[in-house]
Amino acid sequence: MTIVWYVLIHVSLGLIGSDVFLFTNLGGLYCIAASAVVQGYAMWEIHRRSWPMFVASLDAGAAPGGATAARRGYWNRLGRVFIFRVSAFGILTLLIASLVRGAGS
């Protein structure tokens, strides 16, 4: 259900920022920056829920290769999810902004 809220947030960003979020270098950077802020909060929510379970699995001995490698893997996966979410929702925001302006504009 939370993904629906983030879709609605990015649709709203596209509607509000239709004059700023353009398919240009600067407009793309603005869009990615706005998406990174919104998705940064989403990643904090994901981390807040998954970190206690991850630590509990480390305490139970689920990482035979070592806790350091497991922590590095956790942060790598979280970083990849963040990059994917910023990219996907940034494209959504750019598409909504272009639809608001009109396809020919």
pLDDT tens for 49-71 read 999 999 888 887 765 668 888 89
d(CA 14, CA 74): 32
Domain count, the chain: 1
Query: pTM for this one?
Result: 0.86
Contacts of 21 (CB under 8 A, 6+ apart): 13, 14, 27, 28, 30, 31, 34, 93, 94, 97
56: Cβ contacts below 8 Å, ≥ 6 apart = none
Domain range for 50: 2-101
The tens digit of pLDDT for each residue in 31-49 reads: 999 999 999 999 999 999 9
